[in-house]
Amino acid sequence: MHPVLKLVVQRVALGLLLLLAVSAVIFLGVEALPGDTAQAILGQQATPEALANLREQMGLDQPALTRYFQWLGGVVQGDLGTALTNKADIAQSIGQRLGNTLFLAGCAAAISVPLAILLGLIAARYAGRWPDKLISGVTLTTISLPEFVAAYFVIFLLTQVFPIFQPVAMVFPGMSFWAKLHAVALPVIVLVLVVLAHMMRMTRAAILNVMQSAYIETAELKGLTPMQVVWRHAFPNAIAPVVSVVMLNLAYLVVGVVVVEVVFGYNALGQYLVDHVTKRDVPVVQAVGLIFAAVYIFLNMAADVIAIVANPRLRHPK
Amino acid sequence: MRMPLSAIIGLVLTGAFLFVGLFAQFIAPYPIDSAVGGVWEGPSAAYWLGTDTIGRDIVSRLIYGAQVTIFVALASSILAFSLGSFLGFFAAVRGGWIDQTLSRIVDLVMAIPSLIVALVMLSVLPLNLTVLILVMGVLDSTRVFRLSRAVAMDITVMDYVEAAKLRGEKQGWIIFREILPNALSPLVAEFGLRFIFAVLFISTLSFLGLGIQPPLTDWGGMVKENKDGLIYGKAAALMPAMAIAALAISVNLVADWILSRTSSLKGGRGG
């Protein structure tokens, strides 16, 4: 087998294994924590008989491991169980909301990725001079803010000081694409701000790192034009680190999106998760937690796979 | 080496925040949880930043909020440090299956974003200060584990550790007397960063309604309480968010300075 392919297969297998382990942690970890689902539903005044009945009804009297495999079997077939609070089918409730979350995160990614790479290139090109200092200074400030704090600064600025937007983001089925875009403008701005800083700084570092290597100097010394140096020598070597930086930061969006959805009351997966943590609806929390974990693991895996494939050193086996 | 201005500003501000947090009971002009004025009063001589959505003095609540925010963040980062660095050193010294097991568990926990793990855990655990500190501390200890294991790995191959082993010193001695003093400087800089992370983490949890519960309050919770004020155009509603940002930035300035000093020390040792 080609060594690149072998590495990719290994990485994907590791990702799947990790996902399996994470599903076990999410399910069995919650089981191991003190807390009783039946008690949580019926409240403190429940009689022992009622508790025992409910446990039997929900299958809670089965051993945890058995229930884990039943749950996992269901998840694999797209059956995420039913919510404790309203007996709704979880997979159905997730469907529409997942779409909304992906729409929000997708818009943020579509803006932040090119912008971050562009800013990173500018900062690396003028390293140590004023454009670099300006970009780095601004991003250093946004980097130390949590998402919701950044969100309220943006809300204050763009709904009060300059009243351009509405402070809530509502999307519903049947809205046109442009109307949806307008509705999510503010949350997208916040998410872009939050991921941009990390992404730009890491891009800048990756490019600077490549530009300092000996082969770049050799290329310059043998008389290539700056454009040729960048295109022939720097770019192929910088693409792997830059792409993995981008992927890692998209994974970071997964967390950002949860908080930003709550800030703007945007009806999507993150809001749904937080609501059901408050309601202590464990099956919903487990299902949504698993989805977020899966997306996160997938993006990390993609970052590594792209880094492997794009690495010119691996393409020519010794 | 002269201290850069940014580090001085950071230190003064961090010190001021700690002071306010420590003596909140003596500084705050009004009690934490009583409505003393009208709803959403503007700033005045009596209420410097005005009153909140149910007429409580915002300045007083910010001061009490500082106490809770800093206490919880400090406690959880101390827990993360004790747990993470001890296990990290232990894994480095023992090696073998102990190291493998601990490292794989840490990999697993770090494979999911901390916020998601915390949310899953808080869906079953009771919400109180102890639980929050434990959850945050344990989750964050994974990062400290990685760092301290890596640092200790470099130290365990040093001659003085070898000498101590040959002298027949026990593991406890090697961890606390040989490795710890030599690993201290990178860990101290890391402590600042972990503390900021803990501040942001507890603020985020409280903002989501899953952190500090009333009658106590912290800055994240205050952002949540006052968010409607923002829509009515009350700038005071932005104050708790400003406080979080200011604390994070000032500790960051100090940590950056320590980090630049320790990395220059490290450079002197040849890497």
Please give the domain boundaries of chain A with CATH numbers for all domains.
90-281 (1.10.3720.10)
Q: Which residue of chain B comes nearest to A271, CA vs CA?
A: B208
**pLDDT tens, position by position, B150-180:** 888 888 888 888 888 888 888 888 888 888 8
**Is A30's CB within 8 Å of B121's CB?**
yes
Q: Which of B115, B223, B241 minimises the CB distance to A255?
A: B115
Give B167: exposed, middle or buried? Use CB within 10 Å, 0-12, 13-18, 19+. exposed
Segment B184-213 shows an average pLDDT of 86
Mean pLDDT by 10 residues, chain A (318 residues): 82 90 85 68 72 72 78 80 77 84 89 87 78 79 78 82 70 70 84 85 81 85 81 77 80 84 86 87 87 88 82 65
Residue A46 backbone phi and psi in degrees, to 5: -60, 140
d(CA A55, CA B270): 62
d(CA B243, CA B240): 5
Q: Which of B116, B238, B248 minimises the CB distance to A145?
A: B248
Residue B270 lies in a domain: no
Predicted local confidence at residue B205, as pLDDT: 92
- Helices B219-231, B58-94: crossing angle, 10 deg rounding: 140
Residue B271 lies in a domain: no
Residue B263 has pLDDT above 60, yes or no: no
Name every chain B residue with its beta carbon within 8 A of the beta carbon of A264.
none
Predicted local confidence at residue A43, as pLDDT: 67
b/e per residue A245-267 (b: at least 16 CB within 10 A): bbbbbbbbbbbbbbbbbbbbebb
The amino acid that residue B223 corresponds to is V
Residue B266 lies in a domain: no
Predicted local confidence at residue B132, as pLDDT: 92
Segment B21-41 shows an average pLDDT of 75
The HSE-up count of residue A238 (CA atoms within 13 Å, CB side) is: 25
Domain containing B138 equals 5-261
Contact of B125 with A29, CB cutoff 8 Å: no
Name every chain B residue with its beta carbon within 8 A of the beta carbon of A141.
249
**pLDDT tens, position by position, A113-145:** 889 888 888 887 777 788 788 887 777 777 777
Predicted local confidence at residue A303, as pLDDT: 82
Residue B92 has pLDDT above 90, yes or no: no
d(CA A198, CA A246): 9
Name every chain A residue with its beta carbon within 8 A of the beta carbon of B122.
277
Residue B267 lies in a domain: no
Predicted local confidence at residue B141, as pLDDT: 92
Predicted local confidence at residue B267, as pLDDT: 38
Q: Which residue of chain B comes nearest to A253, CA vs CA?
A: B113
C-alpha dist (Å) from residue B162 to A142, B157, B169, B182, B196: 46, 7, 10, 14, 36
**pLDDT tens, position by position, B212-246:** 888 888 888 888 888 777 777 677 778 888 888 88
Residue labelled with tokens 């709550």: A262
**pLDDT tens, position by position, B248-262:** 888 888 887 877 776
**Is A152's CB within 8 Å of B223's CB?**
yes
Residue B162 lies in a domain: yes
Predicted local confidence at residue B265, as pLDDT: 45
Number of domains in chain B: 1
Shortest Cα–Cα distance, B237 to chain A (Å): 9
Predicted local confidence at residue A167, as pLDDT: 64
Mean pLDDT score across all residues of chain A: 80
ipTM: 0.82
Residue B102 has pLDDT above 60, yes or no: yes
Mean pLDDT score across all residues of chain B: 82
For chain A, say whether B208 makes contact (Cβ under 8 Å).
yes
Residue B88 lies in a domain: yes
**pLDDT tens, position by position, A207-235:** 788 888 888 888 889 988 877 777 778 77
Name every chain A residue with its beta carbon within 8 A of the beta carbon of B124.
30, 33-35, 40, 280, 282
Assigned token pair, A280: 């202590």
Task: List, as one string, the DSSP characters of B10-39.
Answer: HHHHHHHHHHHHHTHHHH-SS-TT---S-T
Residue labelled with tokens 């008389």: A223
Task: List, as one string, the DSSP characters of A146-192.
Answer: -HHHHHHHHHIIIIIIS--S-S-----TT--HHHHHHHTHHHHHHHH
Residue B32 lies in a domain: yes
Q: Which of B120, B210, B244 minimises the CB distance to A149?
A: B244
Nearest Cα residue to B10 out of B257, B201, B191, B262 = B257
Predicted local confidence at residue B264, as pLDDT: 47
Predicted local confidence at residue B202, as pLDDT: 92
Q: Give the helix/strand (H/E) hosting A27.
A: helix A3-32
C-alpha dist (Å) from residue B2 to B5, B7, B164, B256: 9, 10, 37, 15
- Give me Rg for the CA atoms of chain B: 22
**CATH classification at residue B220:** 1.10.3720.10
Task: List, as one string, the DSSP characters of B68-99.
Answer: HHHHHHHHHHHHHHHHHHHHHHHHHHH-HHHH
Residue B146 lies in a domain: yes
